[in-house]
Amino acid sequence: AAASTSITEGGASGSVCVVLTGTTGSPTELANALAVSVASVLNGEAGAGDFSLGASVTIPAGTMLPTDGSHCVAVSGTEDTLLEGDEAFGARISGTDQSAVVSVGASDTATVTITENDAGEVEVAAASVGITEDGAAGSVCVVLTGTTGSPTELANALAVSVVSVLNAEAGAGDFSLGPSVTIPAGTTLPTDGSHCVAVSGTEDTFLEGD
């Protein structure tokens, strides 16, 4: 009945509903109860363990056609501790138990989006770091923590961008700063501050102070 629906991970169940219409002749009533099978279609985002989907819905005998879209299967998102973002999968009508007279139409699949209920935050591990002009490189490191829900693991690799902020002392030519750091998938939260970009000072001939 609907091309898409959304549910929340670990939240209340939603519904995937079907509509029955007459396509040949002018049927107005369903003579026998009709079982409509529903199956999931994975698309590389949600996995089979991320949701629960009802397998079939029965439209009772005597139902008037076209139906009103109130014949539904339940769908729910499974709670987990992964920080992973929203995920989607398909719920497809796979057939009926009266295939000789009731076929599956072209609009056979609804997209179900599972909304993530966990969130995280990334911060610098240390508020200050010192390096020497033309000396060994130092590091600016980041920490990732869960802030909403109880995420304990990062599901997908996370790229954290780092930029310089000039304050009228050092200029852009006085240092080199790595542009980003990637925290790998599978990393346990909170991270330990070992994910870093390199920073180094550039040698020059100015007597200029720190």
pLDDT at 168: 74
What is the tens place of the pLDDT at every residue in 43-71? 999 999 999 999 999 999 999 999 999 99
Rounded Cα–Cα distance for residues 202 and 131 (Å): 10
Rounded Cα–Cα distance for residues 167 and 40 (Å): 55
Angle at 79 between CA 77 and CA 83, to 5 degrees: 105
Q: What CA–CA distances, in Å, run from 193 to 93, 108, 142, 144, 189?
A: 48, 48, 5, 8, 11
More confident residue, 189 or 206: 189
pTM score: 0.85
pLDDT at 171: 86
What is the tens place of the pLDDT at every residue in 1-29? 679 999 999 999 999 999 999 999 999 99
pLDDT at 19: 96
pLDDT at 205: 55
Give the per-residue SS3 of 89-120.
EEEEEEEECCCCCCCCCCCCEEEEEEECCCEE
Mean pLDDT of 85-110: 96
What is the tens place of the pLDDT at every residue in 111-159? 999 999 999 999 999 999 999 988 789 999 999 999 999 899 999 999 9
Tokens of 166: 């000039």
More confident residue, 85 or 208: 85
pLDDT at 152: 95
More confident residue, 208 or 176: 176
pLDDT at 207: 58
Three-state DSSP at 49 gives: helix
Per DSSP bridges, beta strands 82-83 and 87-96 are: unpaired
